[in-house]
Structure 1
Amino acid sequence: MKKMKLIQQIHEAGVIAVLRGDSPEEVVRMAEKAIEGGIKIMEITLTVPFAMEAITALSKKYSSADPSADNYAIIGAGTVLDSETARLAILAGAEFIVSPGLDKETIILCNRYRVPVMPGTFTVNDILAALELGVDVVKLFPGNLFSPSVIPSLRGPLPQANVMPSGGVSLVNLAEWVQAGAFAVGIGSDLTKEAVKAGDYNLISEKAQAYMRAFYEAKANLK
């Protein structure tokens, strides 16, 4: 039941912050500011040095149990390339796993432990393979190589596929992705680059607020 609840919570929250940085401390700070701004789903990428430390620290501070609680957030791991790393991330506290590609053993491991897994897919065959392995949500990656119209095109023959674009989603096109039927969207460097450049992490909160406003407006305008 927890797995399905988490998937539903991710869908309802709609926006996933994909966080990269130079240290676990930096990424924890980014996550705290993004959560403060209203984005409640954090994907800590394993390209971050000592990323597991960041996942553990955030998992101890935040909980997915009660969406109405002040400390509500869902912490996951991204850029997971193999099943061994997926297991380490789950033990560190990650509640969902995201991969840039389709790795069968990673999916099997996540299914074994009832942890949501979102593998990266690029083709119809990728999506079919993911569905056959029991994946509930596929990551469309890199999203900047597609337009939002790809989702209804994919869901014509594959209406059962839940598609999450990641990469290239911005405030300019977020509404188009949501209205095209995206299950959720992954937001990368656009959320953090201005803050890092300026040395002002409060800008992450402001950008997060803007993203959530855009998301809720898009949802409200769905026909």
Structure 2
Amino acid sequence: MSQNQKTVRPAAGKLLRGNPVVAVLRAGHASEYAPVIAALAAGGVTTIELTLSTAGVVAQLPLLLEEFGTAVDIGVGTITSLAEAVEVMDAGVKFLVTPITDLAVVEAAAQRNIPVFPGGLTPTELFAGWNSGATAVKIFPASTMGPGYVGHLRGPFPSIEVIPSGGVSIDNAPEWIAAGALAVSLGGPLLGDAFRGGDLAALTQRARRVTKLVAAAVAARNAASGAKK
């Protein structure tokens, strides 16, 4: 992208801004998704990433989008090519997530005003995704860096928005929010055994817990920011 060309950057969805938690779902088949999504939504987690590595995702997308409507933002992750991105955008997904920094995917989503969260780890990868129009960049795998990495990135890139993914737990999610993350992305620590016959009521309780913890962290961060002004 030319330095003289203005970056097109889609805004984060309203639901994610209201509760900055992304649930990452991996199952044996996408037909298993609906009851788990409903249980998460009951606990306040309404931004749902369906992984493209799960069988049947593209076929199930229209059904899931119709079933949950505007109550849940359904996006697709594990996108590794422009063709995959275009296919799911055409199906109506609300956001895209990639495990890699593919600038063609970022720019295609930005041009269609679809929030996109490209994955990366190094400053070079993360800034490249951000500079190409990412809504936020996904620090992946986040467990290798820790929440302090957000502050280090903000030194050279003060406006960059980040979402940690990979190794984020319910208990340490507030630390990432306190460090300045736009949101947190959780898979196994939140989903637990939900796709192995686990108690969906327990999943709803975990969703409520992370929602409460993250909301408190956002409030504390906002209060601290206001006190500095």
Aligned Cα RMSD in Å? 1.9
1:170-197 Cα deviation digits (max 9, x unpaired): 1221111110001001011111223344
Q: Which residue of 2 aligns with 1:68?
A: none
Give the superposition deviation at 1:81: 0.7
Tell me the secondary structure at the aligned position of residue 158 of structure 1.
Answer: coil
Comparing 21-30 with 161-170, greater Cα deviation is found at 21-30
How far the C-alpha of 1:56 sits from its partner, in A, is: 2.1
- Relative to structure 1, is the Cα distance of residues 62 and 196 closer, same or farther in structure 2, using a 3 angstrom cutoff? closer
Distance in 2 separating the partners of 1:131 and 1:50: 30
Give the distance between the partners of 1:37 and 1:212, measured in 2 at CA.
Answer: 8
Which residue matches 1:35?
A: 41
- Find the residue that maps to 1:221 and give its secondary structure: helix
2:115 aligned with 1:109: no
Deviations 1:101-146 (A, max 9, x none): 0112211221232211110011110122112212221010011111
Unaligned residue ranges in structure 2 (runs of 5+): 1-8, 225-229
Give the secondary structure class of the aligned counterpart of 2:171. Answer: coil
Q: Which residue does 2:210 correspond to in 1?
A: 211
1:164 counterpart letter in structure 2: I
Letter in 1 for 2:78: T
- 2:91 maps to a residue whose letter is A
TM-score by length of 2: 0.87
Q: Quick one: which amino acid aligns to residue 123 of structure 1?
A: T
Long gaps (5+) in structure 1: 65-71
* Aligned-residue identity in percent: 29
3-state SS, counterpart of residue 193 of structure 2: helix
Distance 2:22 2:120 in 1: 17
- Of 15, 21, 27, the residue aligned with 1:21 is 27
For normalisation by structure 1, the TM-score amounts to: 0.90
* Corresponding residue for residue 151 of structure 1: 150
Q: CA deviation digits over 1:66-101, x for unaligned, max 9? A: xxxxxx111100101111111111122211000000
Q: Pick the structure with greater CA Rg.
A: 2
1:45 to 48, 51, 54: 51
Matches within 5 A, 1:1-223: 3-4=10-11, 6-7=12-13, 9-64=15-70, 72-197=71-196, 199-222=198-221, 223=224
